[in-house]
Amino acid sequence: MSANYKKWIWGSLGWAIGGPIGAILGYSLGSISSNNSLNQSNQTTGGDFITSILVLFAAVMKADGIQKKSELNYIKKFLVTQTGLSNTKKLLLIFKNILEQNFSLEEVCLQIRNQMDDASKSQLIHVLFGLSQSDGDIHPLELQTINRISEMLGISQLDYKSIESMFKDDLDSAYTVLGVKNNVSDLEIKKAYRRMANKYHPDKTAHLGEEFKAMSQEKFKSVSEAYHKIKKERQLK
């Protein structure tokens, strides 16, 4: 891998340049960043998000001991969408090296929890669910790993269940997406929709960059679809 590309990778990072994620990436690249001044900004960069999700992708893929082609295809498609084809080829080489490493998931999650904003952490979980169901079925061990990651990132169980339910199509799951029981009032449904639409609005992750906009819109769309499904069932205007 060229020195220029390594420089580009390190230059795209903020807080992920240090700590366990930086060490994992440095091992993959065969070099450590020469930039010793850690970005103290609270704002997560697109590079921080990509490197974090690559490490978490590896943890979920290794959960059931099987590396499926459908999962690798999902990761490739995700990276192409977010970073472009030329960068994806190099990032996949890095990812394959990460898969071979033994790292502490707890330490990685602690770094992400302490540095990443809540909206971006929720987006990580949404992308991980996309990976796990890429073959049409979520393996129990993968689900267990995603739940564990979510807990270590400090995501509430209510928000975790909301994101999980975005990948289901039944009416009960629509209520869970909005974070409410199916016996609440119509007024509470409308309040819940406004609350979750605000929580998952794409503007919340705009700091990641324009290329991440479509990714963020998926959760927002799921909230709208859940609300309209409930409205239809209740015959709400």
The superfamily CATH assigns to domain 167-237 is: DnaJ domain (1.10.287.110)
Question: In this structure, which topology does domain 1-32+42-155 adopt according to CATH?
Answer: TerB-like (1.10.3680)
Write out the two tokens for 76: 């490739």
- Domain parsing of the chain, residue ranges: 1-32+42-155, 167-237
Report the predicted TM-score, pTM, of the whole model to 2 decimal places: 0.88
Q: Exposed (0-12), middle (13-18) or buried (19+): which is 141, by Cβ within 10 Å?
A: middle
Residue 56: partners with Cβ closer than 8 Å, 6 or more residues away = 108, 124, 128, 149
d(CA 190, CA 173): 16
How does 25-44 read in b/e, with b if 16+ C-beta sit within 10 Å?
A: bbbbbeeebeeeebbeeeeb
Per residue of the chain (237 residues), what is the pLDDT tens digit? Answer: 555 556 656 656 778 888 899 889 888 877 544 444 444 455 788 888 999 999 999 999 999 888 899 999 999 999 998 888 988 988 998 999 999 999 999 999 999 999 999 999 999 999 999 999 998 878 899 999 999 999 999 999 999 999 999 999 999 999 999 999 999 999 999 999 999 999 999 999 888 887 788 888 999 999 999 999 999 999 887
Same fold, 1-32+42-155 and 167-237: no
Confidence (pLDDT) at 123: 94
